[in-house]
Structure 1
């Protein structure tokens, strides 16, 4: 099975729904990652704010940062090789790399909220 790693720029979360505005690209990538994980793919995201050691320890990512600076983020690695930097992969790219139908990459996490109106 393929291993996919995404090295995100510094941000407060990977979903894109925090802060004053929603980043549709981040929400799309979060949905793709969720869909891939649901299908058993090994996907890991590292955030420069929360996981700086991962950026230092990964020699390829470290080299890209040394050469291009933080503008090279995000960096996407597939099976140990950099396949994209400076922007997130498209759904078609994810699909091609992982041999998954692009239509199967649109699952969204389901959250259930229970409200006890007796306590309101």
Structure 2
């Protein structure tokens, strides 16, 4: 079974500032998609869970070299898979060995069927 852990900087949230971060909003939707698929992604926030950063040798070593400004860091099966940004749905699906239906961005009308991701 695949395990994915994301170690995020303090305040890493779609609504943590006056300006809403669209990437974080997309990531939250991707996390909802993971839940719908039955996939578990463990998230650790530096402000809320600092001990998880210190107790994980890979994350601690990463922070010792790169610093907190290089967060987030994503581990897949305890291996660093991505740094500096949050993963997207396609990456999550690949790591879980799943297929993902692309999110439709085409305009729809009352008579056009919509694609659901």
Would you say how many aligned residue pairs link Structure 1 and Structure 2? 104
- Counterpart mapping for 1:34-49 below 5 A: 34-49=32-47
Give runs of ≥4 in structure 1 deviating > 4 Å: none
Which ranges in structure 2 are unaligned for 5 or more consecutive residues? 105-117
Residues 64 and 104 (structure 1), Cα distance of their counterparts in 2 relative to 1, 3 Å cut: same
Which ranges in structure 1 are unaligned for 5 or more consecutive residues? 107-120
TM-score (norm 2): 0.79
The structure with the largest helix share of the pair is 1
TM-score (norm 1): 0.77
Q: CA RMSD in A?
A: 2.0
Q: Does 1:54 align with 2:57?
A: no
- For residue 32 of structure 1, give the secondary structure of its aligned residue in structure 2: helix
Between the aligned partners of 1:100 and 1:33, the Cα distance in structure 2 is: 14
Partner of 1:9: 9
